[in-house]
Chains A and B, each alone.
Chain A
């Protein structure tokens, strides 16, 4: 099982748990497992096509999966996965 760090704004969907465990051999499998464990979290992570939403970034350790193998990035039992929402704005 990999360890997933849930971003603070989404913790209300994981009973306020900051870290949860997820099964799977790739990032997408782990995210799908997470969505299965916490159905209300699912729509915030996955689009209707089952892909990870564009405004969500996923890190494996300190590496953005964009620079790895994207959703197919392989993970191991002790891998730490971070889910990161986009943070931006501006005055006008």
Chain B
């Protein structure tokens, strides 16, 4: 995940992550996808519908939960923007990583509160390396 986002600089990188849902969400795998945004990928990302469909199929096939989406903010803080909020869907965790001049700096995670239509920050603990597929 980190390597992909650093390598994507100065453009936004993105992907999915999988694991088990529960009171604490455990992420066991990440899956890198292309930023398919038409336009300025330095400040926007989009995941194609086909890549999304494949991610759901991957989760079903492997008995995993599709827990959310990660993306980078090149030369910007790891804080959700109005565009992130506007496009957010329920349930998913949105991991945002800031990358400054090609180097990862901060990691945050956010989940949409459907009642307030605002993001709530989630606590992130990094225990071990992930399996990352691309």
Q: Which residues of A contact B (CB under 8 A)?
A: 5, 7-9, 11-12, 18-19, 57, 59, 62, 64, 82, 84-92
B29 within 8 A of A: no
Of A5, A12, A86, A87, most buried by chain B (CB within 10 Å of CB) is A87
B47 within 8 A of A: yes
CB distance from A8 to the nearest CB of B (A): 5
Chain B contact residue count (CB 8 A cutoff): 34
Residues of chain B in range 51-69 having any CB-CB distance to chain A below 8 Å: 52-53, 56-57, 59-60, 65-66, 69
Does the CB pair B94–A85 fall under 8 Å? no
A–B complex contacts, Cβ < 8 Å, 29 sampled: A5-B56, A5-B60, A8-B91, A8-B92, A9-B90, A9-B91, A9-B92, A11-B91, A12-B91, A19-B60, A64-B50, A82-B56, A86-B49, A87-B87, A87-B89, A88-B37, A88-B46, A88-B87, A89-B45, A89-B87, A89-B88, A89-B94, A90-B12, A90-B81, A90-B83, A90-B84, A91-B44, A91-B73, A91-B74
Give the nearest-CB partner of A86 in chain B. Answer: B87
Residues of chain B in range 16-48 having any CB-CB distance to chain A below 8 Å: 37, 43-47
Q: Which residues of B contact A (CB under 8 A)?
A: 12, 37, 43-47, 49-50, 52-53, 56-57, 59-60, 65-66, 69, 71, 73-74, 76, 80-81, 83-84, 86-92, 94
